[in-house]
Structure 1
Amino acid sequence: MSRLKVATSQRLLHALEDAPFDGLILGNPSNVAYATGYRSVADAIASGARMLACVTKERQLLVAPAGDAAAALDSGIAEDDFVPYGRFFFEASDGQHAAASMSDVHADMESALTEAIARSGLTGAIGIDSLVPERIKILLEQQNGVDVVAGANDWVLSIRAIKTAPEVDLLLSAIKCTEAGLDQALEAAYPGITERELASFVARSMVEANAEPRFLVVTTGPRSAFSDARATDRAWEVGELLRFDVGCTYKGYWSDIGRTAVLGEASSEQERCYAAILAGEEAQLARARPGMTAGQLFDIAVEAVEDGGIKPYRRHHCGHAIGSDAYEWPIVAPNSVAELQTGMVFCVETPYYCLGWGGMMVEDAIQITDEGNKKLTSLDRSLRVVSA
């Protein structure tokens, strides 16, 4: 069993002891992975819940398509804790591999879950997350011994919000290869290099570190004001801004980093605007601490940017928690009453998008500590000047 699975499943089970639930049925892939340690490649291309974690204080079972059997067992799921459904054929060279006999065991998710409930002894109050289908909720309500089925999504998110040590290690690995790619892209940059070529340096660094590139927003000139745009063959010209907003996953955990550069000498307006957004992020870094609300942290960022000269500074958020999802609870948004807690990991950011002129941003990951916070990213946060 991996360090990650031990840490996350133990945290979940410890929290379940004092929860208003006797057990859980989870359908969100990140929640399933948190409980069982298994993350399916197919979840990245499938819509809706195709796996369920059946969690009691004594046992955690995985209900999944038969096609996931080999990978799930290889990840450390015990054979008796894997309940397959559907048809998929594996052959076994020695005739012994358990996955080779898991096709057509159960026709559908419902019958497989019924078996999982019987094995686990799931009874009492059952919590479900937001991706558990309605038909599964109805099935649960019909089970003998189940008293109530209630929403547990917010509760699960609050447990996942406090990161375990193995989770932080994975986040740091994702950050490290993303930062290396940004450095490589800027070191290789020259007048006329395309957005796509710049993005390829970042992607290559991620892949070489066994991470998966997930988003590569690499935009230049007026396109740098496009908040979420794919890199194109547009060439970077002297005097123009370059905005990176890039991220990857490393063993299921995300990075999300923003940086800005200019080709040749920066204009006074570029310097003024960047100084303002950097002041906003620095205010967050200086003041983020346990006990303050995400709404207060948002206000701190906006006030600092406006004091720096961009007024009004209009934003719907100035950061978000991050982990096995790119955007996790809580969001650093106006009026949010969610309290920052020791162990939470956030990306704090202060982007600025001015259509027809350009865009810029700076975004970094921090972990909330008893004393305040510590920065997990280490890359230079200045307006990077690339020689023309």
Structure 2
Amino acid sequence: MLELVGDPNIVVVATSIANVVYSGGYRSMGFDTDPGLKMAVVFNERKVVLVGPLADLWAARESCPGPFAYYGYGRFFFDHQNALNEGDVDFASFQDFDAALQAAIAALSNESTRIACDFLPTYSSTGFQADPDWIRRIFVRARSLKSASEIDVLRRATELTENAVSIALENARAGVAETDIAAEISATMVRSGLRPGFIVVTSGPRSAFADAFASSRKLVPGDLVRIDVGGTLNGYWSDTACSAVVGEPTPEVERVNHALMAGQAAALDAVFRRVSTEEVFNATTEAVRQAGLASYKRHHVGHGLGVESHEFPTICRDNSEGLIPGMVINVETPYYRAGWGGLMYEDTLLIGKSAVERLTALPNTLVRLPG
């Protein structure tokens, strides 16, 4: 990140959820769920200071081994004086977020320091000077290129998510409710250390709903079942999808599924050839159409994956980005036909220096569930 900034005299202030996770290594339950809370990571080449609610102090400490600086705000009470004395913790308490943020910036800056903040409005007392659009672009680029440790987490998150989906599919059959399948996926994810994010389990006509919650609807013979699941491990997302049919597929289901599988294969082939994102999009959609689904349209066929479930680059028309070593991306071929149903496949891929690695392992084939 700081290499892309290219100026040792800049202090960076990260305030969005994703940028705080990326810069500070800590994902706060409160910050994720309470829009009234604020957090920031203030950093330069010398030091990192996490600014957040007092209640987050020790959870943040657990996520950030080594020397740790936390400037807390608000009212909360820990019996922690011994822990503060014994630990390598630079801790200070402030009345509100603005005061804590100003103190963190002051601790890392001098008269000639430029301050670059991603999203907060400019406060005259903090002296933000660098263009926020510029630093946001830096964050986007930096987050798209994963370190070895980030790749390890993403690989593990993908493996655990697919395992949860596989276990749920083993028990799915006619008479089982969408919510039963979603509950089993969620429970397996939690037991393995993942935090469930989106658990899409839709069946029959509901499988044509995009990103819908599971319902109490029970599977019946002939149903299509579309599953799209993502969760976080240490703040980093997984995202995988598969499709199933209860009993035997109809000729129309086989026709549509054949086209989507052809599109997914074309997407994988295009990424393995390291063509641009626009070329991946064109190859994918054209393959689906040529394989029998002539009306197929998509706004995108994939995206980056990291501390957000959809990151740079978006794989779409009129967006020609190179696939650079270090990127982790998803490619997908969803199809939604209202009143009929939907199917989709999705893969996670690591762009390596010498090769592209498929992190997902589930086969892109239609799963048969007992009717």
- Which residue in the other structure is 1:61 paired with? 49
Distance (Å, rounded) in 2 between the aligned partners of 1:161 and 1:120 = 27
Matches within 5 A, 1:66-81: 66-76=54-64, 81=69
Give the counterpart of 2:155 among 161, 167, 172: 172
Distance 1:347 1:147 in 2: 36
1:249 paired residue number: 232
Contact in 2 for aligned 1:89/1:103 (Cα 8 Å): no
Q: Is the 8 A contact 1:367 1:373 kept in 2?
A: yes
Q: Which runs of 5+ in 2 are unaligned?
A: none
Of 182, 198, 219, which aligns to 2:181?
A: 198
Distance in 1 separating the partners of 2:72 and 2:336: 48
Q: CA separation in 1, counterparts of 2:116 and 2:273?
A: 28
SS at match of 2:296: coil
Choose the corresponding residue for 1:278, options 256, 261, 269.
261
Pair 1:98 & 2:87 matched: no
Number of equivalent positions = 367
Unaligned stretches of 5+ residues in structure 1: 1-11
Provide the secondary structure at the position in 1 that maps to 2:51.
strand
Give every structure 1 segment of 4 or more consecutive aligned residues whose post-TM-superposition deviation is greater than 6 Å. 77-80, 101-104
Question: TM-score normalized by structure 2?
Answer: 0.91
Note the 1:255-334 alignment, pairs <5 A: 255-289=238-272, 292-334=275-317
**Seq. identity, %:** 34
Question: Is this contact kept in 2: 1:290–1:342, CA < 8 A?
Answer: no
- Does structure 1 residue 15 correspond to structure 2 residue 1? no
Deviation at 1:20, TM superposition (A): 9.4
Structure 1 residues 233 and 283: CA distance shift in structure 2, 3 A: same
Cα deviation for residue 49 of structure 1 reads 6.3
Matching residue within 114, 121, 126 for 1:134? 121
Per the alignment, do residues 27 and 270 of structure 1 end up closer, same or farther by CA in structure 2, a change over 3 Å counting?
same
Flag the 1:191–1:290 CA change in 2: closer, same or farther, 3 A.
Answer: closer
- Relative to structure 2, which stretch is displaced further, 49-58 or 346-355? 49-58
Map Cα deviations across residues 44-74 of structure 1 (whole Å, 9 max, x no partner).
2122661111111211111112112222233
The 2-side partners of 1:267 and 1:366 are apart by: 32
1:158-205 CA deviation, whole Å, 9 max, x = no partner? 011011111111112221222112222221122111111111221122
Q: Secondary structure, in 3 states, of the residue corresponding to 2:82? A: coil
Moved more, 334-343 or 47-56: 47-56
Equivalent position to 1:108, from 96, 100, 104: 96
Pick aligned residue for 2:72 from 66, 84, 102? 84
TM-score normalised by the chain length of structure 1 = 0.88
Q: Residue deviations 1:262-290, cap 9 Å, x none?
A: 11111111111111111111111111158
Q: Against the structure 1 CA distance between its residues 23 and 180, is the aligned structure 2 distance closer, same or farther, given a 3 Å change threshold?
A: same
Q: Quote the Cα distance in structure 2 between the aligned partners of 1:183 and 1:128.
A: 42
